[in-house]
Amino acid sequence: MMYRSGFISIIGRPNAGKSTLLNVIVNQKVAITSNKPQTTRNNISGILTREDAQFIFIDTPGIHKPKHELGKTLNKNAYTAIAEADVNFWMVDATQNFGPGDEFILEKIKTSHIPCFLILNKIDLLGKEKLIKVLQEWKERYAFAEIFPISALKKDNIDQLLEVTKGYLNEGPQYFPDDMISDHGEQFQIAEIIREKVLYKTEEEVPHSVAVVIEKKEETDTKIFIQALIVVERTSQKSILIGKQAEMIRKIRLAAQKELKEKFQKRVELELYVRVEKNWRNRSSKLQQLGYLELEEDE
């Protein structure tokens, strides 16, 4: 039996459902989700291992018009994934009109010369006639290798998508162990869970300006102690995050603690601190320190 393996990048505009699809495919939460753009900031790998194949999925940051250095870095990460994948999944919210952001991604795909699947997500929100119309419009834009209407949330058409994708992967090795579902370590996952709770709980002006750093993690057989720092750009954002009588930070802490307890099956004690780092999204040294920018070697 031929064993197939390969890398599939999931690309698209912010909020198309990329992270939801990844979590559904690997049947575990490896990428955080929210209805706010730029939720995903790192190229996150989700790994699905089967008897005859290993799929390595790269969940990329949503491609958008950048307003700061962080945005440029996120886009660069997504472009790298497009260029280096064996197959690209371009995920589109089928309920949204084709716009300049889509045109931009389409041009990137045309120059990549890598098989591209158009994944039309959120079809559960469309009637049959509307779906047929949307499909026809997309077929006329580009000769995609495959077009798949799906609902990531309702898990519609996912098994068929994987079966067809397997046919596009080459014969190759098993890159990761059977039980590994992500290439990101525990500290990254903990920080992302805390950041997700900030996204869910806070006002519109806070989310993009938030980064989370795990400062300390101590573990026994029955308990985990975690100390985490939440970085924001402005004093006003710190006030929102802490809230009146520290009510907001308490809600974030309890929500994160609850999910971490379920994840590790242990009692979790979480301590959160908030610090202002002015304009951190435009400072390369800070982006590097917070894990969004890799160290570039001197030429």
CATH of the domain at 239: 3.30.300.20
For residue 174, tell me if it sits in a domain.
no
Is 19 annotated to bind a ligand? Reply is: yes
For residue 294, tell me if it sits in a domain.
no
Distance separating alpha carbons of residues 219 and 221, to the nearest angstrom: 7
Pick the last residue of a domain from 166, 201, 221: 166
Is 122 annotated to bind a ligand? Reply is: yes
Name the band, by pLDDT with cuts 50, 70 and 90, for residue 41. very low
For residue 20, tell me if it sits in a domain.
yes
**Sheet with strand 211-219: strands edge to edge:** 211-219, 223-232, 267-276
Is 12 annotated to bind a ligand? Reply is: yes
Lowest mean pLDDT among 21-30, 120-129, 206-215: 206-215
The owner of tokens 């999204």 is: 281
Is 63 annotated to bind a ligand? Reply is: yes
Instruction: Tell whether 106 and 216 lie within a shared domain.
Output: no
Instruction: Tell whether 135 and 89 lie within a shared domain.
Output: yes
Please give the tally of structural domains in the chain: 2
Over residues 134-144, the mean pLDDT reads 93
Is 66 annotated to bind a ligand? Reply is: no
Count of CB atoms situated within 10 Å of the CB of 96: 15
pLDDT of 289 over the 70 cut: no
Is 61 annotated to bind a ligand? Reply is: yes
Instruction: Tell whether 7 and 154 lie within a shared domain.
Output: yes
Over residues 237-252, the mean pLDDT reads 89
Instruction: Tell whether 36 and 127 lie within a shared domain.
Output: yes
What is the maximum alpha-carbon separation in the chain? 63
Pick the last residue of a domain from 131, 166, 201: 166
pLDDT of 146 over the 70 cut: yes
Instruction: Tell whether 6 and 145 lie within a shared domain.
Output: yes
CB 229 within 8 A of CB 216: no
For 200-215, write each residue's pLDDT tens digit: 787 665 656 788 888 8
Q: HSE (CB half, 13 Å, CA atoms) of 277?
A: 21
Closest CA to 264 of 225, 224, 218: 224
Instruction: Tell whether 17 and 153 lie within a shared domain.
Output: yes
Pick the last residue of a domain from 135, 166, 197: 166
Query: Residue 226 is part of which domain span?
Result: 184-288
Q: Regarding predicted confidence, which is higher, 54 or 263?
A: 54
Instruction: Tell whether 14 and 158 lie within a shared domain.
Output: yes
Is 41 annotated to bind a ligand? Reply is: no
Over residues 56-74, the mean pLDDT reads 66
pLDDT of 110 over the 80 cut: yes
Is 59 annotated to bind a ligand? Reply is: yes
Is 46 annotated to bind a ligand? Reply is: no
From the number of C-beta atoms within 10 Å of its C-beta (0-12, 13-18, 19+), residue 105 rates as buried
